[in-house]
Structure 1
Amino acid sequence: MTVQDRVHSPEEGAAQGGAYEERTLGFWLYMLSDAVIFALLFATYLVMAGNIAGAPSPQSQFSLTHAFGETLLLLTSSLTFGLASLAQKANRPRLLQAFLLVTFLLGLGFVLMELVEFQGMIAAGAGPDQSGALSSFFVLVGTHGLHVSVGLLWILVMMSQVALKGLTAPVSSRLARLGLFWHFLDIIWVGIFSVVYLPGVLE
């Protein structure tokens, strides 16, 4: 019998359960602080959107097809992460790993598309140093992209932990927090698409 398989006393089990609940609560508090940051970035963009200072406006650089492609990738990655969570609950680590890998690839595709968009805007003279509107756009969208990149690294870490340790209670707890983080980023992107991209291409 391994250390992971040994039976814990009720006191040990309660202590561990309390520790996981505290970590989950702490993570919720972190996400609330992150939500405040994104709310400020949204507000800054809305205030600065008209301050183009003679430079191209962010809206003139938007492609609805490109933005829709990014949205499709991220929404699908949220679905595959949900399927990974179901595989976790069913105690099917191989299926979990497969869905995590698909989620990672979809998220990576999203980040690459975002980098292509940024590169094209900078090449067209619409970089973040050209106006307040462009600066606020790059900061808002770039901050979200940075969060997605952190999420991708986290997915790789969790895949390695599942492979090495199995679906132990600590690993499952970390996967649950990763799920909260990933779905939160999905919600933020829907806000970005609705507030930044969609009005821009419909003007």
Structure 2
Amino acid sequence: MSTIPVTREVSEAPWTLPSRGIVGMACLILAESAIFIIFVVAYVYYIGKSLSGPTPKQVLELPIVATICLLSSSITAHAAVSSLRKDRVSACTAWLGATIFLALVFLFYTAKEWYELIYHYGLTIRTNLFGTTFYSLVGLHATHVVVGLIMLTVALIAGLRKAMNEHHAEKLEVLSLYWHFVDAVWVVVFTVVYVLGR
């Protein structure tokens, strides 16, 4: 009695665990999303309920330049990761520099807006419900931009010191995920505060 050998062809690639950094960042983004949702809901709930002025329509202008800069910084952050994957450290460093520059421009416009609101219109966090919810929501986002900016600066310094190579691309990708999240949150904040809230 003869036996027929049976061979099993493996058509699927072996399953590997996802990156701990990416999983960790995904969990952080989920937690941060919940916090932002609470602040956005509070802002929406209190729209038009301030008993005194100024109102959003009286003082807010569309931050077009700041928005373009921040959203563009997602493109430059992605370009930095792509460059590092190809071991083009100089290009990665240049893209990181561009990302940081765009983020600083965004923060400059935010600071300018707050200066005008406080000193020209007298709108502080204690003025009315609009002031409280506005500074809480926009301030929370600005804080996340600052945190991202610090991390991007650390990456830039590593690139300038030639302490970064293609093996660090995954870590930079984790950082870029955070930055994309910050940009995505701004789209929501921009829509709720500056478009619907006016």
Question: If the length of structure 1 is used for normalisation, what is the TM-score?
Answer: 0.84
1:134 aligns with 2:131: yes
After superposition, what is the alpha-carbon deviation per residue over 1:150-172, rounded to whole angstroms, capped at 9, x for unaligned?
A: 11111110112233422153x32
RMSD: 1.6
Amino acid at match of 1:32: L
SS in 1 for 2:123: coil
Could you tell me which of 91, 95, 102 is aligned with 1:95?
91
Identity score, percent: 28
The number of residue pairs the alignment matches comes to 181
- Which structure 2 residues correspond to residues 22-101 of structure 1 after superposition, within 5 A? 22-64=20-62, 67-101=63-97
Question: If the length of structure 2 is used for normalisation, what is the TM-score?
Answer: 0.86
Any gaps of 5 or more consecutive residues in structure 2?
A: 1-15
Large movers: runs of 4+ above 3 Å: none
CA contact (8 A) 2:84 2:166 kept: no
Q: State the partner residue of 1:167.
A: 165
Higher helix share: 1
Any gaps of 5 or more consecutive residues in structure 1?
A: 1-16
Higher mean Cα deviation, 50-59 or 71-80? Answer: 50-59
Q: State the partner residue of 2:3.
A: none
CA contact (8 A) 2:21 2:171 kept: no
Q: State the partner residue of 2:150.
A: 153
Measured in 2, the distance between the counterparts of 1:59 and 1:33 equals: 32
Pair member with larger Rg: 2
Could you tell me which of 126, 140, 149 is aligned with 1:143?
140
